[in-house]
């Protein structure tokens, strides 16, 4: 029986897993690829990164989109010079793109804490996003998040 290689950095959303290592290879292979500014407040709100988990819990709220955030790392070590990665999560090439941050939650949290309006992002096309997406994340060790 052939063994499948576990991805390193991944983003899990619903039944899908997005292989960030593959995304980084796609980005690196695209010479002259431009980055685009994303609005920090909008993306922070969509991922429940506006407050600490304790602050949400004190309000009696359980943010469903928020992954594990190391607040100390976000405040002191997250490198805002590295663009985050945004993927187009649509299943079909119909309608408007459905963008979500798939890599860089700690960078986004830091940018939000510092009051930045925008953050640079590599924006994956639908075709590129499909190349890094699978639905086989239910096995052991398949729920790791990235910084």
- Kindly report, residue by residue over 62-93, the tens digit of the pLDDT: 776 666 789 999 999 999 999 999 999 888 88
What does the pLDDT look like over 101-127, one tens digit per residue?
Answer: 999 999 999 999 999 999 999 999 999
Spatial separation of the C-alpha atoms in residues 114 and 116, rounded to whole Å? 6
Q: Nearest to residue 102, comparing CAs of 2, 33, 22, 34? A: 22
Q: What percent of the chain has pLDDT over 90?
A: 53
The reply to whether the predicted model has a pTM over 0.85 is no
């Amino acid at each position: 029986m052939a063994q499948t290689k576990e991805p390193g950095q991944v983003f899990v959303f619903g039944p899908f897993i997005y292989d960030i290592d593959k995304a980084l290879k796609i980005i690196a292979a695209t010479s002259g690829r431009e980055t685009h500014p994303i609005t920090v407040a909008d993306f922070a709100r969509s991922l429940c990164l506006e407050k600490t988990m304790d602050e949400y819990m004190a309000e009696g709220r359980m943010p469903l989109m928020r992954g594990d955030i190391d607040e100390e790392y976000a405040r002191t070590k997250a490198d805002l010079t590295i663009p985050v990665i945004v993927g187009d999560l649509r299943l079909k090439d119909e309608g408007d793109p459905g963008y979500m941050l798939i890599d860089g939650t700690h960078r986004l949290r830091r940018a939000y804490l510092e009051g930045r309006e925008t953050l640079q992002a590599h924006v994956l096309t639908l075709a590129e996003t499909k190349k890094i997406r699978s639905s086989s994340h239910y096995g052991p060790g398949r729920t790791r998040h990235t910084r």
